[in-house]
Amino acid sequence: MPNTTADVVIVGGGVMGCAIAYYLAKEGVKPVVLERSDIGGEASGSTGGGVRQSARNLKEMPLAMESIRMYGELHEELGMDMEYVREGNLRLCTNEQEMADMGKSVEKQQAAGLDLRMLDRKEVLEINPYIGEKVVGASYCPTDGHVNPFLVTYAYFLKAKSLGARFHTQEEVVAIKLQKGRVTAVVTDKQVIETDVVVNAAGVAGRKVANLVGLDIPLRPVFSEAMITEPYPPLFPQMFGHARGLFYGRQTVHGPFFWGGFVGTEQYIHREGKPLFHFIGPAISRAVLDYFPVLKDIHVIRMWSGLIAAMADGIPVLGFTEEVPGFIFCTGFSGHGFGLAPVIGLLLSQLVLDCTTSIPIGDFCYARFNQGGNEDCACQGSDICTTQAAVCPNKRQLVRNME
């Protein structure tokens, strides 16, 4: 097997792997990205492209707010129009109980600094006149929106590549070598790459990749189905969702409507990470039509499904681990990672480069599962850095000098 070397190896060419690769390459470090299928071939190519801050775990709020700011500038940064629409997100309620529950959640999100409010039915109709009679009110976050996920993933991929990141598709990571507990190499089905830093951005396979170094995380695949309709004249620009998360959707900038939902049938309908059947679509469509009767004659032209990397506590695992120096987690985005991609790409690149992040990520550490939670466990410029030795400043300077 051929042997090569890399400063950083990223497992997974989804939006996270591509974004991390871009922000690293921008700083002069040329990572190797290993992708077992194609760029954006799994969750990042199945996603709804909703880009929201609202209805998140409050721990994610600072990240989501920064990510939305970054999305506003991304077309300039990456040199591509990614069909980003920032026209708000409506989460629809159908009864007083849902309104009360949503109201409590909105108060907490407001306290976390998010511009978000509750609307009654009349106010909802002023924003979106096509909403059906079932809806009694909604939460509304005006700075949420949606984006074309293929373009975002590809824009990061292309820009990273142009800056020197190396991408290997159709190449699977099958082992990670350790020496005295530290990462020393990544083994694929085609080659061995010597490296002392590996980023696990393997999405729903993040648990399997963690298992390669003897770590485990409570991540399980959750099946989610999505579909797209024929094009329709522009009706409304907001992202919409259900108060209890049963479905979500939007109209794309080219006219087709996208919608999807959650069903919980994952235990028997996927093989090798790929879902096999598509049969929940009609149920989700009937629900959506109940809320948007105006769409009753529109035809669904394509359906697909994907797997969500769902963590037991609904938030991702990010950062170094004390157990395996050189191994970095970036997985478990639990069905709402796409909105975070820019900030995650940036923060993980900072972690690799400088052992610190401009927004704290301690809440997302691996140690929360085996040490009962530890705010300081993720690397934040502490002593842990010296044991982790990411891409040390000297090495980075060396790489830059060689350019």
Which residues would be at the binding site for ligand FAD (CB under 6 A)? 11-17, 34-37, 41-44, 46-50, 172-173, 201-205, 209, 224, 226, 260, 306-308, 331, 333, 335-339
Yes or no: say if 349 and 356 are a contact pair by the CB < 8 Å rule. no
Instruction: Return the number of the residue (157 or 396) whose C-beta is nearest ligand FAD.
Output: 157
Q: What share of the chain is helix, strand, coil (3-state, %, to 5)?
A: 35, 25, 40
Give the nearest distance from C-beta 50 to ligand FAD in angstroms. Answer: 3
Instruction: Return the number of the residue (44 or 384) whose C-beta is nearest ligand FAD.
Output: 44
Give the nearest distance from C-beta 294 to ligand FAD in angstroms. Answer: 22
**Structure tokens that stand for 173 in this block:** 């990571």
Instruction: Return the number of the residue (292 or 396) whose C-beta is nearest ligand FAD.
Output: 292
**Structure tokens that stand for 151 in this block:** 């373009």
Beta strand spans in 316-362 (E): 317-320, 327-331
Distance between CA 196 and CA 125 in Å, rounded? 55
Instruction: Return the number of the residue (103 or 314) whose C-beta is nearest ligand FAD.
Output: 314
Yes or no: say if 215 and 14 are a contact pair by the CB < 8 Å rule. no
Yes or no: say if 96 and 104 are a contact pair by the CB < 8 Å rule. no
Give the nearest distance from C-beta 30 to ligand FAD in angstroms. Answer: 18
Instruction: Return the number of the residue (10 or 384) whose C-beta is nearest ligand FAD.
Output: 10
Give the nearest distance from C-beta 400 to ligand FAD in angstroms. Answer: 27
Q: Residue 60, Cα to own-chain centre: how many angstroms?
A: 12
Distance between CA 168 and CA 163 in Å, rounded? 15
**Structure tokens that stand for 65 in this block:** 């707010």
Give the nearest distance from C-beta 17 to ligand FAD in angstroms. Answer: 6
Give the nearest distance from C-beta 316 to ligand FAD in angstroms. Answer: 8
Please report the sign of the dihedral spanned by the C-alpha atoms of residue 102, residue 46, residue 77, residue 206.
positive
Yes or no: say if 201 and 209 are a contact pair by the CB < 8 Å rule. no
**Structure tokens that stand for 49 in this block:** 């492209």
Instruction: Return the number of the residue (248 or 320) whose C-beta is nearest ligand FAD.
Output: 248
Instruction: Return the number of the residue (7 or 144) whose C-beta is nearest ligand FAD.
Output: 144
Distance between CA 319 and CA 1 in Å, rounded? 30
Distance between CA 314 and CA 261 in Å, rounded? 17
Instruction: Return the number of the residue (99 or 291) whose C-beta is nearest ligand FAD.
Output: 291
**Structure tokens that stand for 162 in this block:** 């142009």
Yes or no: say if 51 and 146 are a contact pair by the CB < 8 Å rule. yes
N residues, the chain:
403
Give the nearest distance from C-beta 23 to ligand FAD in angstroms. Answer: 14
Give the nearest distance from C-beta 208 to ligand FAD in angstroms. Answer: 7
